[in-house]
Amino acid sequence: MELRDLHYMETLAAELHFGRAATRLHLSQPALSQALARLEREIGCPLVERDHRGVTSLTNAGRVLLSETQGLRKSIAMACEMSRRAGRGETGTVAIGFVDAATFEVLPRLLKKFREQFPGVSIVCHQLKSSELARAVEVGQLDLAILRRDEPPPGVELRTILLERICVAVSRNSPLSWLRDLSIGDLANQAFVLPVQEDVASVRPGFLRICHEAGFSPRIVAHATSIQVIVELVAQGLGVAFAARPWARDNPNVVVQDLRDVEEYMELALAFRPEGMSSEAQNLLELVFDGQALVVTT
């Protein structure tokens, strides 16, 4: 028994007229008659009452057939629609990894926009080191990752999604917080809080280079593994730290100042595998690079 023939019969039962039913179904009348005949042969009895003008009603067998298969037809229709949605990437799961710097601007904006457009897709987030993120994308454990740019593994592409100017974060109680024309040289005698170098994509070497090019080696008093800890140590007056402006946005005890002679940027990139991407991940990728979710900023 073909589900299509049951659908034809349902339409015929609603119209009780071969011509009108065939028109609704975009069929010829002979094709509709043949579908009904197939069902009647399979069931072994008439399913509709006929007179010289055509169909007058369903037989008892026809009514029972449609009644008993109604739930099946609805289930099949629902399954087909769910399958179409899955094929369009409107359901399923996306696994996305990130470094902590992504939590201030990139990740919240991206996830908010994606949820608005694809509410049926679940998002699983993983915070890891850049090198770990790249490897996880390579082996398929993550669909995408927001990380520090470095040489990508085979099969993985990187595209820049955010550039953040390197500034300096100082305690609100520091005399430096009142200056409006800070130079890198003004930091030569300051204590520094620096990130731990966790992998080759760390921003730490760039921070050290900036100091060395200015003619001094930073006096490092603390190392931290997360941006949030660095900002809090600065807030407590332990030292200054290189930072992007958004990092201290929610800490009233920290002031972020531009450095007039430092025109350098920290880069965040999106890593993904073009081959074998799920429809859900492809939708997220397109959202980013259509400019709907993110803008490369300074």
Q: What is the CATH number of the domain that holds 209?
A: 3.40.190.10
Q: Both 17 and 81 in a single domain? A: yes
100 pLDDT more than 50: yes
Asked if the structure places residue 243 within a domain, the reply is yes
- How high is the pLDDT of residue 11? 84
| Co-location of 198 and 150 in the same domain | no
In a domain, 12, yes or no: yes
- What number is the average pLDDT over the span 240-269? 94
Nearest in space to 169 (alpha carbons), one of 235, 78, 103: 235
What is the gyration radius of the CA atoms in the chain, in angstroms?
32
Residue 274 lies in a domain: yes
Given a cut of 90, is residue 39 above it in pLDDT? no
Residue 90 pLDDT: 65
Number of domains within the chain: 3
Judged against a pLDDT cut of 80, whether residue 76 lies above it is answered with no
Neighbours of 233 (CB within 10 A): 21
CATH number for the domain harbouring residue 44: 1.10.10.10
pLDDT at res. 292: 47
Residue 280 included in any domain: yes
Token pair belonging to 253: 């005890």
User: Which residues, in sequence order, are CB contacts of 8 under 8 Å at separation 6+?
Assistant: 21, 25, 27, 32, 35, 36
Where a domain ends, among 87, 119, 137?
87
Task: Show the domain range for 45.
Answer: 3-87
**Is 64 or 263 the better-scoring residue by pLDDT?**
263
Which band of pLDDT confidence, cut at 50, 70 and 90, is reported for residue 198? confident
Q: How far is CA 65 from CA 19, 46, 71, 80, 240, in A?
A: 22, 11, 11, 22, 79
Question: For residue range 118-153, what is the model confidence (pLDDT) as tens digits?
Answer: 888 889 999 999 889 999 999 999 999 999 988 889
Q: Are residues 38 and 78 in the same domain?
A: yes
